[in-house]
């Protein structure tokens, strides 16, 4: 295997931000990862870059103007003032606090993913890494699940300037990103995540896209206790089939580490090697690849795994010693100062009643029905914003259309969030998908102002707010000329 050209994006400021005392999300884990990468001597083997900060104008390629305008002014004092925009734009505020420097933190994360996309598109690198990225829960006009700006969507939009087809794989324990590309055949999304009453409650087998995008959203809901063997037995055949049928020009892999064994918010039983197998799978197929971070809340295991996966990208994972080298955060990795994430003895619920075999069969059948890669004719790189080019954003003269699009996207996200479990046994639909958790579009459950917490996986009632901006408000923000 020839060594691939790797670019690594890191901003030393990222580890200084904090969501607040006791919060599960700790940006410091990215600094810990970097220290471990440095101590293993990997920086000399790849192109190390400081990403440019993402501007508000770049963020509005996907997010609404008013949401980014609010985010740029967000501060901890807003919670004390009971600012009504808190629940409008930040959803459940305990998960998504307006912490000091939140906008700057998001600009680092999103800037790295956009820069990685441009790097890959230019042909300068074969693999690009941005461990500060992968924040896949952020919605068009609302923060969610510790995520404020969806760097993944912004990065994929940048890739679509050059590539006709992009595939996004997500191995985080939580489902995300899919809704931004539900109606396009140019982006195929594939998510391996925890099923059932688990944040954010989306990603059913029956959710397969709509319109032109029907069939191009692949969801693989899995049960508690997923092991390396079970994960590999479904990931590799599904990923291979997608590469065969869809023939993407580039792959984006979100390496959320909350799927690791022992994670504070996860429930799988995957080792560091089992997680990294996904990175090696794509590396060995010589396809342009972007690696992003994501979830992960037992931070010493996050740092271990992302450092190891950096070595996998470089093709030097076999040269790393089992014991961690001394570095500035060495004491954080006790009591076992080893490059490993140990699994535990727990039942793999996926092996019961042939569940894993059924899901694998159903997913492969879905992909096979696509028959061939979608045809995309020759196209110029659009001069306008890519979101505009794909119909996600419109010119000022089409303000009513923009408002309607915002409303539709909000309603889809609201319906997905308002999904609730039903009583009774699970049933199988025509695709073999579990229907025990029906979509809220067909079953209206909790009030529309409820949000699920990523920490507790419970619904919380928020003050009733309407996140959809009025035409007047939309025009006001469009006329402010945000930088």
Of the pLDDT bands very low, low, confident and very high (cuts 50, 70, 90), residue 25 is very high
pTM: 0.84
Among 349, 368, 387, residue at a domain's last position = 368
Binding-site residues for a divalent metal cation sit at 172, 174, 258
Among candidate residues 258, 249, 270, the one with its CA nearest the CA of residue 137: 258
Shared-domain flag, residues 45 and 155: yes
Shared-domain flag, residues 276 and 173: yes
Angle of helix 355-368 relative to helix 228-246, nearest 10 degrees, comes to 10
Instruction: Determine, yes or no, domain membership for 114.
Output: yes
Q: What is the predicted pLDDT for the residue at 172?
A: 97
What is the average per-residue pLDDT within 391-406? Answer: 49
CATH of the domain at 333: 3.40.800.20
Q: What is the dihedral of CA 355, 360, 361, 362, to 10 degrees?
A: 90
Which domain does 416 fall in, by range?
A: 395-422+433-478
Among 352, 368, 384, residue at a domain's last position = 368
Of the pLDDT bands very low, low, confident and very high (cuts 50, 70, 90), residue 369 is very high
Which position among 136, 137, 175, 193 bears the catalytic label? 137
Q: What is the predicted pLDDT for the residue at 375?
A: 67
Shared-domain flag, residues 345 and 410: no
For CA atoms 347, 349, 353, 357, the dihedral sign is negative
Query: How many other C-beta atoms can be found within 10 angstroms of the C-beta atom of residue 28?
Result: 17
Distance CA 339, CA 195 (A): 30
Shared-domain flag, residues 453 and 323: no
Instruction: Determine, yes or no, domain membership for 84.
Output: yes
User: What value, to the nearest 5°, has the Cα angle with vertex 292 and ends 86 and 304?
Assistant: 105
Return the SS3 of 251.
strand
Structure confidence by residue, pLDDT tens digits, 47-96: 999 999 999 999 999 999 999 999 999 988 877 665 667 778 988 888 99
Q: What is the predicted pLDDT for the residue at 380?
A: 53
Shared-domain flag, residues 327 and 412: no
Among 353, 368, 383, residue at a domain's last position = 368
Binding-site residues for substrate sit at 95, 145, 297
- How many domains, in total, are found in the chain? 2
Shared-domain flag, residues 361 and 446: no
Instruction: Determine, yes or no, domain membership for 427.
Output: no
Binding-site residues sit at 95, 145, 172, 174, 258, 297
Shared-domain flag, residues 140 and 195: yes
Instruction: Determine, yes or no, domain membership for 388.
Output: no
Q: How do 450-452 and 459-461 pair as beta strands?
A: antiparallel
What is the average per-residue pLDDT within 371-399? Answer: 54
Give percent of the chain above pLDDT 90.
Answer: 70
Instruction: Determine, yes or no, domain membership for 428.
Output: no
Structure confidence by residue, pLDDT tens digits, 278-313: 999 999 999 999 999 999 999 999 999 999 999 999
Shared-domain flag, residues 412 and 345: no
Of the pLDDT bands very low, low, confident and very high (cuts 50, 70, 90), residue 389 is very low
Shared-domain flag, residues 25 and 112: yes
Q: What is the predicted pLDDT for the residue at 457?
A: 86
Query: What does the longest C-alpha to C-alpha distance in the chain come to?
Result: 62
- Alpha carbon 87 to chain centroid distance? 22
Shared-domain flag, residues 338 and 410: no
Distance CA 471, CA 114 (A): 30
Shared-domain flag, residues 403 and 327: no
Shared-domain flag, residues 340 and 415: no
Structure confidence by residue, pLDDT tens digits, 148-179: 999 999 999 999 999 999 999 999 999 988 88
Q: What is the predicted pLDDT for the residue at 62?
A: 97
Instruction: Determine, yes or no, domain membership for 483.
Output: no
Instruction: Determine, yes or no, domain membership for 373.
Output: no
Instruction: Determine, yes or no, domain membership for 390.
Output: no
Is 137 a catalytic site residue? Answer: yes
């Amino acid at each position: 295997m020839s060594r691939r050209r790797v670019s690594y994006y890191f901003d030393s400021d990222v580890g200084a931000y904090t969501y607040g005392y006791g919060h599960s999300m700790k940006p410091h884990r990215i600094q810990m990862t970097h220290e471990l990468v440095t101590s293993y001597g990997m920086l000399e083997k790849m192109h190390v870059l400081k990403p440019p900060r993402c501007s508000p104008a770049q963020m509005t390629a996907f997010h609404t103007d008013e949401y980014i305008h609010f985010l740029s002014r967000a501060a901890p004092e807003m919670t004390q003032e009971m600012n009504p925009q808190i629940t409008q734009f930040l959803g459940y505020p305990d998960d998504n606090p307006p912490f000091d420097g939140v906008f700057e933190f998001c600009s680092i994360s999103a800037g790295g993913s956009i820069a990685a996309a441009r790097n890959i598109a230019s042909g300068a690198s074969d693999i690009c890494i941005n461990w500060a990225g992968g924040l896949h829960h952020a919605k068009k006009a609302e923060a969610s699940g510790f995520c404020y700006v969806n760097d993944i969507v912004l990065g994929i939009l940048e890739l679509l300037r050059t590539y006709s087809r992009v595939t996004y794989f997500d191995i985080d324990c939580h489902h995300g990103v899919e809704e931004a590309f539900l109606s396009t055949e140019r982006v195929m999304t594939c998510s391996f995540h925890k099923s059932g009453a688990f944040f954010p409650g989306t990603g059913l087998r029956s959710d397969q896209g709509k319109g032109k995008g029907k069939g191009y959203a692949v969801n693989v809901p899995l049960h508690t206790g997923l092991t390396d063997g079970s994960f590999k037995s479904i990931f590799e055949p599904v990923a291979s089939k997608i590469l065969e049928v869809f023939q993407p020009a580039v792959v984006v892999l979100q390496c959320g580490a909350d799927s690791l064994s022992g994670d504070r918010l996860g429930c799988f039983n995957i080792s560091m090697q089992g997680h990294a197998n996904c990175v090696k799978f794509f590396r060995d197929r010589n396809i342009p690849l972007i690696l992003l971070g994501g979830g992960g809340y037992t931070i010493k295991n996050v740092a271990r795994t992302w450092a190891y996966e950096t070595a996998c990208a470089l093709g030097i994972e076999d040269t790393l010693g089992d014991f961690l080298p001394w570095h500035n955060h060495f004491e954080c990795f006790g009591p076992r100062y080893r490059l490993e994430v140990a699994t535990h003895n727990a039942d793999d619920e996926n092996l019961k009643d042939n569940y894993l075999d059924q899901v694998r069969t159903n997913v492969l059948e879905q992909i096979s029905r696509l028959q061939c890669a979608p045809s995309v004719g020759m196209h110029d790189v659009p001069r306008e914003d890519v979101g505009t080019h794909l119909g996600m954003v419109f010119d000022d003269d089409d303000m009513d259309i923009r408002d309607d699009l915002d409303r539709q996207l909000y309603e889809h996200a609201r319906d997905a969030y308002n999904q609730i479990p039903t009583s009774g046994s699970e049933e199988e639909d025509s695709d073999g998908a579990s229907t025990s958790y029906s979509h809220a579009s067909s079953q209206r459950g909790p009030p529309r102002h409820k949000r699920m917490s990523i920490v507790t996986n419970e619904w919380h009632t928020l003050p009733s707010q309407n996140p959809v901006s009025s035409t007047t408000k939309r025009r006001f923000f469009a006329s402010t000329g945000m930088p």
